[in-house]
Structure 1
Amino acid sequence: MNKEDEIIEGKAKRGSVIKRLWKRFKTTDWKDPLNRWKLLFFLVLTFIGLAGGSYGAIAATSTNTFCASCHEMSPEAVTHKVTSHSQVNCVDCHIKPGIDNKIKSKIGAMKELYHHVTRTVPNPIYAHKKVEDVVCVKCHSFNRMVTATGDLIVNHEGHIEAEIPCLTCHSGVAHAKVVERGLNTHDAYDHWIEENADILVKTAYTSPNMGTCIDCHDKVNQGLKPWEDISYVMSSPPSSIEEGHKVDDKSYTSNLILQGLGKQHGDVELSMDCLTCHLEVATPLNHQKHGWNENHGSYALTDLNNCLTCHEEAKWIKRVAATSIDEILNPGSKPNLEFYVPDIFVVKSESRNSIFCFTCHTERPPGHGDDEEWLTGHADFAETKQQKRECYVCHDYEKNESQTAATDVYCMFCHRTGLKDAK
C-alpha cells in the first residue's frame, strides 16, 4: 500500500467512527434513566475538560514570561522589568477586570500571534487602546494631593472629575515612552537587554513630564480639552504624531516658558506660574544677585550641567524627541554633561538647542545698549579670543544656514576681511 492509499484509508476510518457514534446515539433508548445519567456524566466531564483546558491556556498566556517570549516585545519587557510596575503582571494593566474582558482580549490577541508566526509584525509595535483608569485605581487612590517629595501639588481627584485619563500624565510609567522615542523598531530589538537598561531607561521618561502639565493647562486656557484626543493621551511613533503635537515650534514653547516665569498676561482659568503647581521653587543663590541676567554667561561656562538641571528642553515640552538607539548607546563625540568640563563651544551648542535659552537669546541683551552706540563701541567687549568666543554663543562668525543662532547678525557681514583671533 502506497502513502496515498494509507491517507485515504485513514480518512475512511475516521469517517466510519463518527458514523458509528452517531448511529449509536440515535439508536440509544433515552427514556432509560441509566442512559440519561451516562449522557449527563459524559457532558459534565467534557465541560470540565474544556473549562480546565481553557483556564490553563488563559493562565499560561497571562504571565509576564509568556508576554516577553516574543523577540519583538523585548523593549516592552526590559522597560517593564526595571520600572516601578515590575511586580505587576502585564495583563493586570492591559486587560480590564472581568473574565469577559479577559476572554475578549485573548481572542483579539490571536491576530498578534498570527503576525508573530508569519513574521509580519508591524514596525514599530504600539498600543491602539489606552490603559483604562479602572485598572489604575485597583492599586492607586484618587485622593492624592501632593507628590511623595511634598513639593508638587497634584489634585488627582480634580483631574479624575474632569475625566482626564491617568495615562495623559503617566504614559511612560511602565515602558519609558519607547514608542514615542522611536526605540522599539525592528532594528533595535537586539539592543534591549537588561545590561543596557540603565542607559535606555531614565527617570525623565518614566516620571510625569512637566511639559505635559504646561501644554495641557495652556490648552485648557484656550477652552480646549486635549485629553479627549486619544493621540494626545498615548505615546505614538514619531512618524504618526500629528502636526499639532510636534515639538519643533520654538515660539510656542518660548511663550509657555515666559508664562511659567510669571510673564503671563490676561485672565486665565489655570495660572501657568511655577508656584501654581510647586509649593516652593528653590532659586539658586547666584540667580539672586543684581544684574544676574547680564552676567549669567560666565556661570553657564563653568556650571552648565547644573544649569540644564532646570533649563533642559525635556522639562518644558510634552513630546520627547525621537532618537536612535545607537546614538544613546554610542554617543560618540557628543559631550556628556554629567561630567562637564568648561568649554564655550559646548555652551554655544547647548544654549542654541535649548528652547529655554532661545526664549531670551532672541531678545536683544540689555547690556548691548543703543544700536549705534553699541555698534561703534563693541570692539572693547571682543578684544581677546575668549571674549570673541563668548560672542559666538549668539552670533555666528560667518553666515551659516545650518546653525540655529539666536540672531542672524554675524561678524563677517561687516568685517569682510576677517577678525584677529577670530577663532
Structure 2
Amino acid sequence: MPQWRLFRKYDLSKTEDRLKAIIVVSGLVLAAFLLTAGAVKTTMSPEFCGKCHVMAPEYTTWKASSHLNIACTDCHIKPGLGNLIVHKMSAVKELYLYFTGTYDRPIQMSHDLEDEICMSCHSVNRGFTPSGDLIIPHDKHAARDVKCVECHSGVAHGNIVARELTKDGKYEVWTAEFGKKQMTKDYSEPKMNTCLDCHINPKKYGVKNVDGVTQACEACHTQISMPPDHKVADFGTSHGKLAAQNLDYCNKCHSYSLEAKDILLDDPVARYARGNVFCYECHQKRPEGHGDKWRMTHKKGVTGGDVSGCLICHNNEKPTPQHKAVPTYCIKCHGQQGEGTEPGDDGKQDGSSSSGKTTFKKYHPSGWRTYHPTIVKEKGASNEGCWNCHETNHCADCHTNKL
C-alpha cells in the first residue's frame, strides 16, 4: 500500500534500520499525541465555546459573572482524567448534532452540577462573606444534603434557561451588553424567596427527615427582628386585619416573595396574598381553627355576610390554577341544589358576592331532618350527594347513640 512505502526501505533485520523505524514511529506517535493534546486544550477554552453561535447566551453571561476566570470545563466536567476522556468522546456526538442541526433547543444541561465540582474550589470550612446582615450557615445546609445549586443556580448564567430567555433561538441578540444585563444580582444571587420556600417545604428541595425550618427573621438576619405587633398570640389569624389597614406595611419586608401580580381579584389584600409565595405557602395549609366540623360551623365566623377573610384563600366559584386559591370554593355547596331536595329560603342570592358581602340560598327546606332518611335510602350518600358538602362523619353527630 502507498502509505507504507516509507517503511519499505527499512530492513528490520538490521539493527540500524530497526532504530530508524522506531524513531519514525515514535515521532508519529508523539506528533499525534501533541496534536490531540493541543486539540483538547483548545476545545477546553471558553473562547472555543463562544465561537459556536448557539452558545452565545451561555458565553456572554459567563463573561459577566463572578466565575469569569473559571473555565467552562472546570464546572461542566467532573474532576479526573477518566471523566475528561468520557466527555471528549461524547463531544463527538455533540458535533454531529450541531452540523446536522438536530440539537435540542433551548440548550440546557440534563442534570444539576454535583457538589464535588463546587467543592473543588469552595469549602464549607472557610469563612464566607455574605452581604449585609445575613447569617448563612453553609455547614448546616451541607449536613442536611442541601445541594449548592439549590441556592446558587444563577451564579454563572443567571438562570437564563429557567427564565426561558433562550427559547426563541434568537442568538444574535446575545451581545456582551445584553449578557451583562442578565447577570444582575436579581438573577445571579440566591433569592430570599428560595430560602423561605425551602424552610417552609424542605422536602421540595430534597431535604429528608425535616418537616419545616424556622422562619424567624433573626434566624437569618443579625439586624432584623420580628416586629412587636407580630408577637401577639393570635397573629396567625388576626394579621389579615393589619394587612387590610396598611398593605404597604407588609410589603416593606415581604416584597421579596411577591411573584404573581396578575391575580384577577378586586380585593387588594387577597390579590397580594395570592401572589406572594410567603403568604400563599402558608394559606395552602388548613388552619388550626378549621376543625373536623368546620363545614357545618364556619358560618359562625362570618359576621353579617362578610366573607372577605374567607376569600383570601377561597374562591366563590371553582378556581383555576391562575387564581392561586385552595380547591374548596363557596358555591360547591352553596350554589347548587342538594340531591332530592327543593330550594329553601327563596329570595336570597345564589352564592353571589359583592365587596366581600355574600348571602347564600339554602337547599334543605323546613322539615329536612325528618324526611332526609328517605332521600338517603333512595339516592345514597355519595360524593355527588351528601358528601359533596358534608363531612363523612357528619351523620354521627345525631345517629351515634341510635345506631
Classify the TM-score, shorter chain.
0.5 to 0.7
CA distance, structure 2, for counterparts of residue 288 and residue 58 of structure 1: 62
Aligned pair partner of 1:309 in 242, 255, 258: 255
Are residues 418 and 168 of structure 1, via their aligned partners in 2, closer, same or farther at CA, if it must alter by over 3 Å? closer
Paired position in structure 1 for 2:371: none
Paired position in structure 1 for 2:30: 48
Are residues 300 and 365 of structure 1, via their aligned partners in 2, closer, same or farther at CA, if it must alter by over 3 Å? farther
Are residues 128 and 119 of structure 1, via their aligned partners in 2, closer, same or farther at CA, if it must alter by over 3 Å? same
How far off its partner does 1:166 sit?
3.5
Q: Does 1:119 align with 2:101?
A: yes
Q: Does 1:154 align with 2:137?
A: yes
Paired position in structure 2 for 1:377: 304
| Within-5 A mapping of 1:238-253 | none
Are residues 365 and 303 of structure 1, via their aligned partners in 2, closer, same or farther at CA, if it must alter by over 3 Å? farther
Tell me the alpha carbon deviations over residues 48-77 of structure 1, each in whole angstroms, 9 at most, x when there is no partner.
322221222112211112112223323322
CA distance, structure 1, for counterparts of residue 304 and residue 254 of structure 2: 33
Are residues 128 and 302 of structure 1, via their aligned partners in 2, closer, same or farther at CA, if it must alter by over 3 Å? closer
Paired position in structure 2 for 1:266: none
Paired position in structure 2 for 1:235: none
CA distance, structure 2, for counterparts of residue 62 and residue 195 of structure 1: 24
Aligned pair partner of 1:356 in 266, 273, 278: 278
Q: Does 1:31 align with 2:14?
A: yes
Aligned pair partner of 1:293 in 239, 242, 256: 239
TM-score, with length taken from structure 2: 0.60
For the 8 Å contact 1:95–1:101, the answer to whether it is kept is yes
Are residues 162 and 41 of structure 1, via their aligned partners in 2, closer, same or farther at CA, if it must alter by over 3 Å? farther
For the 8 Å contact 1:146–1:152, the answer to whether it is kept is no
Gaps of 5+ in 2: 291-296, 336-347, 358-403
Paired position in structure 1 for 2:3: 18
CA distance, structure 2, for counterparts of residue 79 and residue 192 of structure 1: 9
Paired position in structure 2 for 1:105: 87
More helix per residue: 1
CA distance, structure 1, for counterparts of residue 147 and residue 303 of structure 2: 58
Gaps of 5+ in 1: 1-14, 225-254, 262-272, 315-332, 336-342, 383-387
Report the secondary structure of 1:109's partner residue: helix
AA at the equivalent of 2:66: S
Tell me the alpha carbon deviations over residues 303-337 of structure 1, each in whole angstroms, 9 at most, x when there is no partner.
565353344369xxxxxxxxxxxxxxxxxx969xx
Paired position in structure 1 for 2:226: 283
| Within-5 A mapping of 1:214-233 | 215-216=201-202, 223=209
Paired position in structure 1 for 2:329: 408
Paired position in structure 1 for 2:344: none
Aligned pair partner of 2:189 in 193, 196, 207: 207
For the 8 Å contact 2:115–2:147, the answer to whether it is kept is yes
For the 8 Å contact 2:218–2:226, the answer to whether it is kept is no
- Calculate the aligned-residue CA RMSD, in Å: 4.6
TM-score, with length taken from structure 1: 0.58
Are residues 163 and 372 of structure 1, via their aligned partners in 2, closer, same or farther at CA, if it must alter by over 3 Å? closer
AA at the equivalent of 2:51: S
**Which of these two proteins has the greater Rg computed from alpha carbons?**
2
For the 8 Å contact 1:152–1:279, the answer to whether it is kept is yes
CA distance, structure 2, for counterparts of residue 162 and residue 275 of structure 1: 21
CA distance, structure 1, for counterparts of residue 3 and residue 283 of structure 2: 84
Report the secondary structure of 2:159's partner residue: coil
CA distance, structure 2, for counterparts of residue 223 and residue 418 of structure 1: 45
How far off its partner does 1:122 sit?
1.6
Relative contact order higher in (CA < 8 Å, ≥ 6 apart)? 1
AA at the equivalent of 1:152: I
